[in-house]
Structure 1
């Protein structure tokens, strides 16, 4: 009797565990999968691509070429997440950096964190590398412009339905005199039906 009861409990547990099992399907990284309506990788990539393309066609770019005879040097600064949700701004910054570098239109310099590590390596080379292979201090290229900005949201809720509005504002600032030479804006609006997301 006890044995039959134990077998029955074990069988019931096995069935329950099978019913709750997780399935995983690999998909192409470029596949658009908007499950929750929240900011996702597609929003990040498309916004970066659109805004960088816009920035590089504006008058500041041709004015810089005319005045200096060389491509502008750009660095990406802080992108602030002022939205209602957690957004990994570092992946968005990486998308912007990739679009700027791959455009071939601008020179690009490393951010402050990367520069610190490189300077440490250069200092180590100064002590330990041969003179022929050593990279000297004081040869860095300074940025002409810094790109920075904010991500904001407005959430409109009616029952289980939501409209999620994202607004990304970026600006390009001259390092020489703090002039804003370009301001860009990208808006994304999503209707999320039967949403279980909180505001």
Structure 2
């Protein structure tokens, strides 16, 4: 066999074997923190803590007393990422929304981007669906409260050590009066020794 061809095949075999890696399935509930950055476990932990705080706040009972026992209607607005790293707040928001629905203590309506999709579908139904099944305009449920917030971070480094501090702040506002009826936060601190 040609020496150049043999060398090329050997080189390809070495490169191929060095690029191989092992993939292992793990439980989504298992906490794995590889880098010390914000991860799925942080998102879930913060969402659970924030929902526990918000659902135990007095605003729900105050609303029910003032509205013949009705459940408040909430829309989850923006949760801005003001941290030093890329954080997809959509997973965090979805965890919060799921917990709201599962609690049975509040009613939840879609946020602005999803409402537009629903309205587009409703408009299409007016033209293409039978009049008996087309959904009517003007029947949307208006929110009483909007939840907004942000995720912030502070990083402290020295030589091979690093501390990542995250603080998630949420506030709930009455949509009619702009009154802030609840404020909560959750902090996470991670020490990383490289």
Normalised by the shorter chain, which TM-score bucket?
over 0.9
> Residue in 2 aligned with 1:47?
46
Q: CA shift at 1:187, angstroms?
A: 0.3
> Residue in 2 aligned with 1:60?
59
Q: TM-score scaled by structure 1?
A: 0.92
1:83 paired to 2:107: no
Unaligned runs of 5+ in 2: none
Q: CA shift at 1:34, angstroms?
A: 0.6
Provide the aligned length of Structure 1 versus Structure 2: 193
Q: Distance in 1 between matches of 2:150 and 2:114?
A: 22
> Residue in 1 aligned with 2:15?
16
Q: CA shift at 1:5, angstroms?
A: 4.7
Q: How well do the aligned residues superpose, as a CA RMSD in angstroms? A: 1.3
> Residue in 1 aligned with 2:171?
171
Q: Distance in 1 between matches of 2:157 and 2:104?
A: 43
**SS of the residue 1:28 aligns to:** coil
Deviations 1:7-54 (A, max 9, x none): 144224312320231221111111111100000111111111110111
Q: Structure 1 residues 6, 170: closer, same or farther in 2, change over 3 A?
A: same
Q: CA shift at 1:101, angstroms?
A: 1.3
Q: Distance in 2 between matches of 1:178 and 1:52?
A: 21
Unaligned runs of 5+ in 1: 195-199
> Residue in 2 aligned with 1:197?
none
Q: TM-score scaled by structure 2?
A: 0.94
Q: Distance in 2 between matches of 1:189 and 1:9?
A: 50
Q: Distance in 1 between matches of 2:27 and 2:75?
A: 30
> Residue in 1 aligned with 2:105?
105
1:92 paired to 2:92: yes
Q: Distance in 1 between matches of 2:115 and 2:3?
A: 69
Q: CA shift at 1:114, angstroms?
A: 1.0
Q: Distance in 2 between matches of 1:130 and 1:153?
A: 53
Q: Distance in 2 between matches of 1:120 and 1:177?
A: 29
Runs of 4+ in 1 over 4 A off after TM superposition: none
Q: Distance in 2 between matches of 1:19 and 1:135?
A: 59
Q: CA shift at 1:159, angstroms?
A: 0.7
Q: Distance in 1 between matches of 2:114 and 2:12?
A: 52
Q: How do 1:105-184 and structure 2 match up within 5 A?
A: 105-184=105-184
Q: Distance in 2 between matches of 1:163 and 1:82?
A: 17
Deviations 1:133-180 (A, max 9, x none): 121100000000000001110101011110100000000000010000
